[in-house]
Copies of this chain bind each other. A is one copy, B any other.
Amino acid sequence: MSRAFNFSAGPATLPEPVLLQAQSEMLDWHGVGASIVELSHRGPEFMGIAAEAEADLRRLVGIPDDYAVLFMQGGATTQQALIALNFANPRQVADYVISGHWGKTAIKQVKPYLDARVAATGEAGGFRGIPARASWQLSDDAAYVHVTANETIHGVEFRDVPDVGAVPLFADFSSSIASEPIDVSKYGLIYAGAQKNLGPVGISVVIVRRDLLDRAGQPRADIFDYRSHLKGESMLNTPPTWNWYLAGLVFKWMLAEGGVQEFAVRNARKSALLYSTIDGSGGFYRNEVDPAVRSRMNVPFFLHDEALDKPFLKEAAAAQLISLKGHRALGGMRASIYNAMPVEGVQALTAFMQDFQNRHG
């Protein structure tokens, strides 16, 4: 098969030029006689790649100098645990706003370490919206307020930055970082697994306001200490060099394409096309999320008749549209349309959806 349009939620499609470059450099990186995956992380080749990746990410996302950037292993879930260990005293309060599956995962990780409180949750409404800011029950003495900027499974996204006063706002941006401009200075900490908008699986990014690193936190191993990772330039132990390298190639590709301003335009166009196709299908397809907070990245949708799910997936795959099966928690379909998904991919998907409806409607 030639390259399909791959709507996987993550690990997700990568820019083809990035894959081609990684392919061409697989046995010999820049004439050194070895692959980058075979070279020491302490050598000049990889140290250069790492420094460039940080500089490029800072430019791409617009990260102020008073924020540190860490490249970490363990995925976003590990960061969910580490934020409690690094930024909260034992049993201190932390407030969680739950807008979907990943918010629930986030609060689960910290319960052994602090007094994790649900400040607001959209669960009663099936996570089809985000609780109004006025309804949030926040604590003045909280270590932080945690939100999930975009919920990958439920397809719900914050469209603005909530004001939480003096308490630092921590946000899981795994599935929407670099998809549009954000004001980093409004957050205390941002973390993201790279396998959606930033590149390959196996590496995560943490962006943290430097003054927060002065907090004592809780007893923890050195390998769980963000300060140690910062001091060690994210090489406290052997980092996932190939993943970091591939993420760096994706950063360069995004900058060359026009940066987050350009991707904001493309992502708005892609998601508008897909939602209008769903909404204009007369009920053949449906998305149940409050239109005000629909995700531009992950579009869950259902066919009006579940019996059509299997034919839909089979015919889509035959049309080189793959990884459309919804998460098992929701069923139905899901199209993830991150930065690396071209407009043409969504055009092909919506054309297929209309054709499928014509044939099965």
A contacts, CB < 8 Å to B: 1-4, 6, 8-14, 16, 19-20, 22-23, 26-28, 31-35, 37-41, 43, 73-78, 80-81, 84, 108-110, 112-113, 193, 195, 200-203, 219-224, 236-243, 246, 320, 322-323
Contact = CB atoms under 8 A, between A and B. Distances in A.
B1 A31 contact: yes
Contacts of A202: 73, 202-203, 239-243
Given A75-B73, A221-B110, A27 B34 contact: no
Contacts of A201: 37, 41, 238-242
A35 B77 CA distance: 24
Given A20-B27, A27-B20, A38-B6, A193 B14 contact: no
Given A238-B201, A243-B242, A8 B39 contact: yes
A37 B77 CA distance: 19
A105 to B, nearest CB: 8
Given A1-B32, A109-B221, A109-B222, A37 B11 contact: yes
26 contacts: A1-B28, A2-B33, A3-B28, A6-B34, A8-B38, A10-B40, A10-B238, A11-B37, A12-B38, A37-B201, A40-B323, A43-B323, A73-B74, A73-B75, A73-B202, A73-B240, A74-B74, A74-B223, A76-B237, A77-B237, A80-B221, A81-B224, A108-B222, A112-B220, A201-B240, A202-B243
Given A33-B322, A200-B242, A222-B109, A237 B4 contact: no
A34 B16 contact: no
Given A73-B78, A75-B237, A84-B221, 6 more contacts: A2-B33, A11-B40, A13-B34, A33-B322, A78-B223, A202-B242
Contacts of A320: 33
A23 B27 CA distance: 8
- Give this chain's copy count: 2
Closest 10 CB pairs of A and B: A4-B33, A202-B240, A81-B221, A77-B237, A23-B26, A1-B33, A112-B219, A109-B221, A75-B237, A6-B34
A8 B322 contact: no
Contacts of A28: 1-3
Nearest to A200: B37
Contacts of A26: 19, 22-23, 26
Given A19-B26, A32-B322, A35-B19, A193 B74 contact: no
B223 A109 contact: yes
Contacts of A19: 26-27, 35
A236 B23 contact: no
A34 B75 contact: no
Contacts of A246: 37
Contacts of A78: 73-74, 223, 237
Interface centre among A81, A193, A240 (most CB of B within 10 A): A240
A4 B34 contact: yes
Contact of A33 (B3, B108, B241): B3
Contacts of A14: 35, 37-38
A32 B224 CA distance: 38
Contacts of A13: 34, 38
